[in-house]
Structure 1
Amino acid sequence: MASGETAATSWCSHCGMGFAAPPPPGSGSSVRCAFCHGVTRIEHHQHQRGGAVGESATTTRTLAAVASLPRPPPVPAGLVEIPAGYPSRVSGGGSKRALLVGVSYTGTKHELRGTVNDVKEMRSLLCDRFGFPSACILELTEKESDPTRVPTRENLLRAMRWLVEGSRSGDSLVFHFSGHGVQKLDMNDDEVDGYNEALCPMDFERSGKILDDDINEIIVRPLGKGVKLHAIVDTCHSGTILDLPYLCRMSRTGYWQWENHSRPSGILTKRPNGGLAISISGCSDDQKSADASGFSDESSSIGAMTDSFIKAVEAEPGTTYGRLLSAMRTRIRDGQGSRRLPGRLGSFVRWMIPSSGVQEPQLCSSEMFDIYRKPFLL
């Protein structure tokens, strides 16, 4: 890229999604939308600005200036086809809705055990502990006979749109994903560590992955005032999978502080539209997640993060976010370390000596709060 050139933000002419790409040479370019796959023509031309004739500029706006620009219009609901078989919204305020995704990658070298069990256990938790109506929970797994409910990239994008579509004040939304996650080199300079995180649908080798930029665009930005979203993500490299601005750092002794992970280009564009988004993920961006083979039998395989999350919630009803995160980390630390040094001595050593080989669940949010005062509620 030539000196002085910056990535430009434009909006899909078909569905309204935002995307970024470095300005190419020539008079224009075509960009394919990650969500609807429509192609938008972006023109680059010479025009007057501030009285100077011939100064080069594009018809799109640079990322560096996005923070000061108005939010683009929301995606028209009519342009996103939601399958007729998906649950409909329950009438009345304060509704609950959940999307639970378990990807097994059956028959491939990437095959995972336990992701379908993750979905089953999460459904039970949501219904039994938090009063989610069973009819308002959408599951995407490879066990489904309905072709619109298998976790392909297209279905997952549609289901995420279903999750937030029509949400209003008082709504509680949950997105749970169990499967593979990866990192990809950041091409638009909106990541602190230089890498995008991404989810892998069952057909990712053919259809592609789903970047954190797209996830944020679909299920975070549309959240209006009074709408709350929790994302429970059990994958590798999932720490900042929703691209939320704040990451909570917590020490082994319980000391905590929020870190601002916003880049100047994403100060406003990455935030909800007045709502609240919180993610609890299986590990940091540079770590890998595991199943719970350290503390589960083979017949009931479940993701280590999903298992620790459910057990922590069940062990302490009304817990806070801080106590929940601490309990999850302790359970994973003890479970994944049980094969090395068991017993109380092993627990003490693992608590005192951090291990890069043990995943640590992460907490991110669209706004900062006291994690030991705010109760965890779905």
Structure 2
Amino acid sequence: MQVQIIMAGRRSRVEKCNLCGTQQWVPYETQIFKCGKCRAIIQLPKNDKDHWLKVHDSVYPGLRFRNVVETAISAGRKRAVLCGVTYKNSKWQLKGSVNDVKCMQYLLAEKFSFPKDSILILTEEEKDPVRIPTIKNIRMAMRWLVEGVQRGDSLVFYFSGHGSNVPDFCNDEVDGFNETLCPVDYRTAGMIIDDEINATIVRPLPKGAYLHAIVDACHSGTILDLQHVYRPSQDSSREGRDGEWEYQECRSGVYKGTSGGLAISISACGDSQTSVDTTAFTGNVPTGALTYSLIQAVEKESRITYGRLIHSMRNAIREARKGMHQNAGSTISPFVNKLRPPFSQEPQLSSSERFDVSKKEFVL
């Protein structure tokens, strides 16, 4: 039997976790919540009869729920989804994806003060089946990420794994291809295309809310289908000050922007490029080139602009490629081959709106 109460000026109900059986209070209208005990993501059946509650609900400042679910409705909250896919026991297996997730988790918690309970991790090492990065679980995690998003919220979507592209039959893409993310079960369940990612986590963003997507995968340049792509100056000494924003036209006319919020994507490479996980940076621990260079740049400078960040990441990858060539002798490593033209990896910045990259500080 479902119990209802009014709590903090907001109607709430008791729901039971499908996995551990714990009962807990959740906002009445929520469709997805995270269990306060086992941290599983639970999707509830939709109840259309209660649609009117969404219109009248409100949150009173200073009053909080007794459960972790309160983070779903608290303005100014931080929330992140971190996906690392290794594709174990396949010829496409990656070695650095789980390391990447652990590094990003540490960065979010220590540098940007993300609460531990607000970070949802999906890797093949998780014991909870809901946290394995299947296409179903990643989709559910993306919906959870934007559940109840409000002004002042800061959201992060991170993915380390394989990316690909497929023909675009909707006439959205200038190059004729949709960019995709590959879940662990992509060979049987399919891939997640950029159109779906945009519709799920970009378009719902309200005014005053922020989303950062950090995607360490091949062909990820416009993985969020954002309208503006930043093109840095070819002069590496200019730190992006002479770069310019390029407008990405959606030929079908479908709206690809937000509902007033700001969405920013930092991706490993251009849509036509490939990215790698490698030990070139650490010497022994495999990591994604984008992930490692981003974390290093942020840790070196306490206050770094987007222009400096992109500049630092690109330089780090260039220097790694240069060093590997010099040290390789007559034997060229797979990492060097991956980074040689036309497969040179250049991190990309895109956004739902233009801004001054030399002045805007990178903050999550």
TM-score of the superposition, structure 1-length normalised?
A: 0.74
Partner of 1:285: 271
Q: CA 1:316–1:266 in 2, change beyond 3 Å: closer, same or farther? A: farther
Equivalences for residues 299-314 of structure 1 within 5 A: 300-314=285-299
Deviates more, 1:366-375 or 1:87-96: 87-96
Matched pairs, number = 291
- Once residues 206 and 144 of structure 1 are traced to their aligned partners in structure 2, the CA distance between those partners, rounded to angstroms, is 21
Give the drift of 1:200: 0.2
Partner of 1:130: 112
Deviations 1:325-362 (A, max 9, x none): 000000011112322136xxxxxxxxxxx943320000
Give the drift of 1:157: 0.1
Q: CA 1:356–1:97 in 2, change beyond 3 Å: closer, same or farther? A: same
CA RMSD, 1 decimal: 2.0
Q: Contact conserved, 1:246 with 1:365, CA < 8 A, in 2?
A: yes
- Once residues 341 and 232 of structure 2 are traced to their aligned partners in structure 1, the CA distance between those partners, rounded to angstroms, is 15
Matched residue SS, 1:130:
coil
In structure 1, stretches of 5+ residues that fail to align are 1-76, 343-353
Give the drift of 1:262: 2.1
Partner of 1:296: 282
Q: Contact conserved, 1:101 with 1:140, CA < 8 A, in 2?
A: yes
Partner of 1:113: 95
Give the drift of 1:313: 0.6
- Once residues 146 and 122 of structure 1 are traced to their aligned partners in structure 2, the CA distance between those partners, rounded to angstroms, is 20
Paired residue for 1:187, among 151, 169, 180? Answer: 169
Partner of 2:23: none
- Once residues 153 and 179 of structure 2 are traced to their aligned partners in structure 1, the CA distance between those partners, rounded to angstroms, is 27
Matched residue SS, 2:260:
coil
Equivalences for residues 158-169 of structure 1 within 5 A: 158-169=140-151
Deviations 1:112-166 (A, max 9, x none): 1010000000000001111111110000000000000000000000000000110
- Once residues 179 and 89 of structure 1 are traced to their aligned partners in structure 2, the CA distance between those partners, rounded to angstroms, is 31
AA aligned to 1:242 is L
1:150 aligns with 2:137: no
Paired residue for 2:215, among 190, 210, 233? Answer: 233
1:172 aligns with 2:172: no
Matched residue SS, 1:229:
strand
Partner of 2:250: 263
Q: CA 1:355–1:276 in 2, change beyond 3 Å: closer, same or farther? A: same
1:364 aligns with 2:356: no
Matched residue SS, 1:329:
helix
Partner of 2:258: 272
Partner of 1:205: 187
AA aligned to 2:99 is N
Give the drift of 1:270: 0.7
1:322 aligns with 2:303: no
AA aligned to 2:204 is P
Q: Contact conserved, 1:238 with 1:284, CA < 8 A, in 2?
A: yes
Matched residue SS, 2:278:
coil
Give the drift of 1:283: 0.3
- Once residues 89 and 29 of structure 2 are traced to their aligned partners in structure 1, the CA distance between those partners, rounded to angstroms, is 36
Q: Contact conserved, 2:84 with 2:161, CA < 8 A, in 1?
A: yes
Partner of 1:337: 322
In structure 2, stretches of 5+ residues that fail to align are 1-27, 42-67, 328-339
- Once residues 341 and 322 of structure 1 are traced to their aligned partners in structure 2, the CA distance between those partners, rounded to angstroms, is 29
- Once residues 321 and 344 of structure 2 are traced to their aligned partners in structure 1, the CA distance between those partners, rounded to angstroms, is 7
Q: Contact conserved, 1:89 with 1:136, CA < 8 A, in 2?
A: no
Q: Percent identity?
A: 51
